[in-house]
Amino acid sequence: MPNYYPIMLNVRDRLAIVVGGDTVAAEKATNLSACGARVTVQNATFCEELLDLAQQQKVMLLHKAYEPGDLAQAFVVVAATHDPALMEPIWQETQQRNQLVNIVDEPARCNFILPSILRRDQLTIAVSTEGASPSLAKRIRQQLEKLFPPAYGVYLRLAGTVRTHIRKQGLSYEQRDEFFGDFFDSQVLQHLTDNQREQALAEIRSLLERYNIDVPEATIEAEMREAV
């Protein structure tokens, strides 16, 4: 039986507090900021990476050692600390408020853990060993990078654009499923990976015509300008 229930968490415009000042804290803060969170990093001192993030206005730095009560407004808390004197009060404070908390490398003091993540724009692949070996999870994710090239970003944006028009045109679920099966089996992704935009466009045209789907060519071309 799995120990964790995987979810995708919306942190946009939510307060995330990262306790710590080293490169691990910088990594956690960077990832939260990239997903739209309002990130405050709290510690007495900060590494260069965090100072740079603050300079870019991606995070706010609070030059202050953690004290109980500091996490009151946080939606999610990440503690990048190995100090037992900090771990326990952070855990206790977050539990009193039912907050989401991850204390790095301390799964017993986490109500969520962070997977190794592969992103290709709207495609997100998370790899977790449920805390057994984060290093192994990272290597599995690196293997997946070869299977899911950067062109997947454009490929999925094209699929999303076509899906919007399909829904407006009232195709049945079965027709939609059949279309995307053919889209998946086509050479569109390979053409995008090889930077063969004209070939990719021609194949998409052919698929759309086969299913009588009307998508303005300018719309498709606009998405493909980002092609790898």
Residue located via tokens 């990476």: 49
In DSSP terms, 76 is beta-bridged to 16, 100
Q: What is the pLDDT of residue 182?
A: 96
Rounded Cα–Cα distance for residues 137 and 220 (Å):
36
Predicted confidence at residue 228, as pLDDT, reads 45
CB-CB contact of 40 with 65 (8 Å): no
**Which candidate, 53, 51, 64, places its Cα nearest to that of 19?**
64
User: For residue 77, what are the β-bridge partners?
Assistant: 17, 101
Give the 3-state secondary structure percentages of the chain, helix then strand then coil, rounded to 5. 45, 15, 40
Q: Please say whether the beta carbons of 103 and 76 come within 8 A.
A: no
Q: What is the dihedral of CA 40, 43, 44, 48, to 10 degrees?
A: -80
For residue 101, the cross-strand partners are 77
**What is the full per-residue pLDDT of the chain (228 aa) written as tens digits?**
678 899 999 999 999 999 999 999 999 999 999 999 999 999 999 999 999 999 999 999 999 999 999 999 999 999 999 898 999 999 999 999 999 999 998 988 999 999 999 999 989 999 999 888 889 999 999 999 999 999 999 999 999 999 998 888 888 889 999 999 999 999 999 999 999 999 999 999 999 999 999 888 888 888 777 554
Spatial contact of 21 and 50, defined as CB atoms under 8 Å apart: yes
**Cβ atoms within 10 A of the Cβ of 158, count?**
23
Report the C-alpha gap between 53 and 25 in whole angstroms: 11
Half-sphere exposure (Cβ direction) of 25: Cα atoms closer than 13 Å: 31
Distance CA 206, CA 179 (A): 12
Return the amino acid letter for 128. S
Q: Which residues neighbour 106 within 8 Å (Cβ) at sequence distance 6 or greater?
A: 87
Asked if 71 and 90 count as a contact pair (C-beta separation under 8 A), the reply is yes
pLDDT of residue 226: 58
Question: What's the confidence (pLDDT) of residue 36?
Answer: 97
Question: Which long-range CB contacts under 8 A does 164-167 form with residues at least 24 apart?
Answer: 165/213, 165/214, 165/215, 166/213
CA distance 14 to 10: 8
Residue-level pLDDT at 131: 81
Distance between terminal CA atoms of the chain?
40
